[in-house]
Amino acid sequence: MNVDKILPGMALRSCWAVLTCTVLAALAATVQAQDRPQFSFTRTDDIVTLTVDPATNGTECQFRIVGSFESAKFVRTRAKRKFLSPRVSRSTDFQIVADISADVRRVGASSRRTLYVAVGERCGDTETFSRVKRLRIDASPGGLREKAWMRGMRTSAERNILTFEDAFPSLTFAYPVDLQVAPGGSRLYVVEQGGMVRVFDNDSAATSSGNFLDLGSVVRFDGEQGLLGLAFHPDYESNGYLYVHYTEDATGDNVVVRYTRDNSDPLTADASTALEILRTAQPYENHKGGQIRFGSDGYLYIALGDGGSSGDPLGNGQNRASLLGKILRIDVDNPSGGEQYGIPVDNPFAGNTDGYREEIFAYGLRNPWRFSFDPTTGALYAGDVGQNRIEEVNIITSGANYGWNIMEGTDCYPLTSSCSSDGLTLPIASYRRPLGYSVTGGAVYRGANIPLISGHYIFADFVTGRVFQLNPADQSRTLEAFDTEYYISSFGVDADNEIYALSYYSGEVLRLARSSD
């Protein structure tokens, strides 16, 4: 494993204990005040029984305690909360509570504070809430002050039915970062960060892949730099145009370049046909963005990070005279103004006289590493990698300001500052450390193999390997679909709209599938 090759904003952070990471993740989860039901509860050994009222009309829920902090001390320094010397206890046995008591346990007045973390095993017989992901019971000093927080309640149709399977057991790739399918075809194209695009048949029995385009001699492959994105023109079948987004080795600039399919070999791009479309100077070596995709409107969308360093020191995210920290939208079919592209007339800043870049479609982004379109609704989803607190998912709309670096997710940035969210578009979903450290934007599922999640947005965290599921119809509930051991760098879909994920270090192409559990 080459740990020196880390994707955009994806610094690997180690956890000092697996259980502690789970506990901290539960404690870090946030819930809106109106989503906090009232509970009464009892505890017998390692089983906590709660009566939820009025949210579930008295539904009784059982939890298994998996950890607790006894007299945990907290230290607050520069808005960072740290645990010091927690005493962690753990039980692996689970028993169904036979006798439900309505008594409420009281905590004696003392200086001790107990935080219990439990995992829900079942919640009532109605399956209204068939699984409660995590629970925090805060037994504070001073008498009856118990609180229970529930996050990610699942209906029976939303249980852990998802997993990944190795889609092509005989194939692996070197640091894969993008997967695409060409219009009118079924073959899959995998982008390797070092500069190679490889092509192969969408057949689980495939044993080899071909070199479609080799850009290793012009791509700077270092950390977050490299060959980052691939997009096929909507009329690829007739014109053979494809576009790549990479870090140029000679300058460190981000460049979008058009190539043309080889007339004599349709499984090869002709490297001699390179035509530079767009160049963006980069002040630092990180936060490159990278995704490029054509929308249903025929325009090319391009993701660019804020230019790098930490905290956006140049203020690019909010500077509409800069292309950095933006998602761009250009017309590659109608070049004008001496450029190799034109400006769509309905771009939000087209024709402005304020010096704003007319290519901008949306701004206020930190590092929108991966974005995708819902093939049914056309909605544009983007995962934006956070600074040091919050990872976020946004639905990108024309002219919207997503807040960076006024805000990081739903927090002011820096945290000690005061800010206003007026005029800003907040994320539709977010999560905090240590639940994850670097969001990998995903895709909306529109395939036929798992109809229960049709229309749901699937995304992941690169560092922790967690995979998340978001139902756009209920954006208040982001579900942790399942855990993996993969460093998921990107998602893609095939011609049948089935979702795939790329494992960055091990090189597999993974297919989203229904779990056999």
| Residue 205 pLDDT class (50, 70, 90 cuts) | very high
Neighbouring residues of 371: CB distance < 8 A, sequence distance ≥ 6: 291, 293, 301, 303, 327, 380, 381, 382, 383, 396, 441
Q: Which of 96-105, 123-132, 302-311 has the lowest mean pLDDT?
A: 96-105
**Overall average pLDDT of the 65-79 stretch:** 33
For residue 363, pLDDT over 90 is answered with yes
In one letter, which amino acid is 517? D
Report how far residue 138's alpha carbon sits from residue 118's, in angstroms, rounded to the nearest whole number. 12
Residue 44's pLDDT band (cuts 50, 70, 90):
low
pTM beyond 0.75: the answer is: no
Judged against a pLDDT cut of 80, whether residue 38 lies above it is answered with no
Percent of the chain with pLDDT over 70: 68
Q: How confident is the model at residue 265 (pLDDT cuts 50, 70, 90)?
A: very high
Instruction: Give the mean pLDDT of 439-455.
Output: 96
pLDDT at position 230: 98
Long-range contacts of 143-147 (CB under 8 A, 24+ apart): 143/106, 143/107, 143/109, 144/104, 144/106, 144/107, 145/107, 146/39, 146/41, 146/104, 146/105, 146/107, 147/36, 147/39
pLDDT averaged over every residue in the chain: 77
Q: Which range (123-132, 351-360, 415-424) has the least confidence?
A: 123-132
Per-residue CA distances from 119 to 36, 66, 90, 136, 219 (Å): 17, 7, 12, 9, 47
Average pLDDT over residues 273-277: 98
Which of 10, 1, 5, 3 is CA-nearest to residue 287?
Answer: 10
Q: Residue 52 forms beta bridges with which residues?
A: 39, 59
* 138 pLDDT more than 80: no
SS3 399: coil
Residue 431 CA to residue 356 CA, distance in Å, equals 32
Confidence check: pLDDT of 39 > 50: no
What the block records as the tokens of 487 is 């460093």
The predicted structure's pLDDT at residue 115: 37
Confidence of residue 156 (pLDDT cuts 50, 70, 90): very low
Tell me how far CA of residue 337 lies from CA of 103, 419, 447, in angstroms. 76, 39, 41
pLDDT value of residue 103: 24
Q: What is the average pLDDT across 42-56? A: 48
Q: Which of 60-64, 252-256, 430-434, 459-463 shows the lowest mean pLDDT across its residues? A: 60-64
Q: What angle (nearest 5°) sits at the alpha carbon of residue 316, between those of residues 313 and 318?
A: 110
Q: What is the pLDDT of residue 516?
A: 74
Average pLDDT over residues 78-100: 26
**Rounded mean pLDDT of 151-175?**
74
In this prediction, what percent of the chain has a pLDDT beyond 90? 65
Say if strands 134-139 and 73-77 run parallel, antiparallel, or are unpaired. unpaired
pLDDT classification of 128: cutoffs 50, 70, 90: very low
The per-residue pLDDT for range 391-423, each reduced to its tens digit, is 999 999 999 999 999 999 999 999 999 999 999
Averaged pLDDT for residues 124-129: 35
E runs forming strands in 335-413: 360-363, 370-373, 380-384, 390-396, 407-408, 411-412
Structure-model confidence comparison of residues 387 and 109, the more confident one:
387
**Across residues 194-221, what is the average pLDDT?**
98
Which pLDDT belongs to residue 127? 33
Q: How many CB atoms lie within 10 A of CB 239?
A: 12
Here the tokens at position 264 are: 């004599």
Output 154 or 456, whichever has higher pLDDT.
456
With contact defined as beta carbons under 8 Å apart, do 434 and 29 qualify? no
Phi, psi angles (nearest 5°) of residue 506: -85, -20
Looking at residue 434, its pLDDT comes to 85
Eight-state DSSP code of residue 52 = E
Confidence category of residue 163, pLDDT binned at 50, 70, 90:
very high
- Which residues 6+ apart lie within 8 Å of 171 measured at CB? 200, 206, 207, 208, 209, 508, 509
- In this prediction, residue 33 has a pLDDT band, given cuts at 50, 70 and 90, of very low
Q: Looking at residue 248, what is its pLDDT?
A: 98
Between 30-44, 288-302, 319-333, the lowest mean confidence (pLDDT) is in 30-44
Residue 102's pLDDT is 23
| pLDDT score for 361 | 99
For 469-510, write each residue's pLDDT tens digit.
998 887 666 777 889 999 999 999 999 999 999 999 999 999
